[in-house]
Amino acid sequence: MVKVISTFKYTDIMTGDLETYHLVELLESTRVLDEPFKNTHQYWVLDGQDVTNKAAYLEPLDNPDRNIDSDYQQFRDKYHFLKPEDIKSARRALHLSLIEAAIFLGFTVQMLSDIENSYLMQNYEQEIKLSLLKDPAGLLQMVLKHEKFVKSKLRRQHLNADSVVSRLTALVNSDSSLQTGVE
């Protein structure tokens, strides 16, 4: 069932005309990572058009990603996936640059950046890797297991590989609360 939330004016950036729109809301079926669920979506409908006609629906012009962002948020909440701000915060708490974290996790820098900025929803395999940012000792264990490979990748990015790995090691060793993954 369509619900009209509000009516407002918005300037068309193409023509400069002040247009009247209706904000409508309805429950829709959607999928994220092939998981079906229902979510409430919002659309704009130009005044004079039928608010029940889906062909008249526009993604919100002030934020065209509003509905997909809402879908991602609901998915993350339902399935306990890390949120972009939690991923970025965990990476920064480890004092890792985007490049360093991407190398440690086996991501491209662009992919990690897109996930952190909510341009991309991480899949389950990526979620497992991203969870290592919340388990610094587990991350260190994985890095040390593949140390030669990781250091080679860091060097190819013109990073001081020994320093990067030593920094993570020192951080984990200096904070016993971070050592959850070490026996």
Q: What average pLDDT does the structure give for the chain?
A: 94
pTM metric for this prediction: 0.82
Question: Which pLDDT tens digit goes with each residue over 114-126?
Answer: 999 999 999 999 9
Q: Tell me how far apart the alpha carbons of residues 61 and 21 are, in angstroms, rounded to a whole number.
A: 10
What is the DSSP code (8-state) at residue 94?
Answer: T
pLDDT of residue 177: 56
Domain boundaries, the chain: 3-63, 84-181
Q: Identify whether the C-beta of residue 40 lies closer than 8 Å to the C-beta of residue 24.
A: no
Question: Which pLDDT tens digit goes with each residue over 118-159?
Answer: 999 999 999 999 999 999 999 999 999 999 999 999 999 999
176 or 140, greater pLDDT = 140
Q: What is the mean pLDDT of residues 10-37?
A: 95
Query: Is pLDDT above 80 for 21?
Result: yes
Residues found in the chain? 183
